[in-house]
Amino acid sequence: MKRLLLLCFLAFASCVVTTAQTTSPTTQTDLKILFNSGVSQYEAGIQRTNQTLANAGFTSAMNVISTSISQLQQQMNAASSQANKAIIQAKITAQSQVQTDLLALQGNIMGNSVAITNKFTAFKALM
């Protein structure tokens, strides 16, 4: 009887483990968290004078900026009223300007660290 109970328990446990490993998360990662992660990585690279780390963080943050602008474009296309479209367009314009400014500073990531950090802070406020 104990052996049968043990076998049933092991069979049930293996099904639970298999199910837990195959399910995927249903929530999308928040862009603000991803952006802050990229900015933190960039700032760590600057503090350590590590060009590779700073570049990786900068690239990560820029990818989030592009994603944010793309999502705003989709929201604008789906907006029902002109007032909502105007509000979203203003956000797109402001975020695009910060993106353009950051791309101009990208040539000297280490030397432009203060300006880049200020632009990252400005973008954070626009999210």
Tell me the two tokens of residue 50: 């590590």
At 80, which amino acid appears? S
- What's residue 29's pLDDT? 65
Q: Is residue 10 part of a domain?
A: no
| CA pair distance 82, 11, nearest whole angstrom | 59
CB 58 within 8 A of CB 48: no
**What is the residue range of 50's domain?**
31-126
Q: Is residue 24 part of a domain?
A: no
Structural domain total, the chain: 1
Q: Is residue 22 part of a domain?
A: no
Using DSSP's 3-state secondary structure scheme, residue 26 falls into coil
| CA pair distance 123, 94, nearest whole angstrom | 8
Q: Is residue 48 part of a domain?
A: yes
CB 31 within 8 A of CB 64: yes
Q: Is residue 14 part of a domain?
A: no
- What's residue 24's pLDDT? 36
- What's residue 8's pLDDT? 46
Q: Is residue 16 part of a domain?
A: no
pLDDT > 90 in the chain, percent: 75
Q: Is residue 95 part of a domain?
A: yes
Global pTM value: 0.75
The owner of tokens 């999210």 is 127
pLDDT > 70 in the chain, percent: 77
Tell me the two tokens of residue 105: 């500073």
- What's residue 34's pLDDT? 96
Q: Is residue 11 part of a domain?
A: no
pLDDT in tens, 49-102: 999 999 999 999 999 999 999 999 999 999 999 999 999 999 999 999 999 999
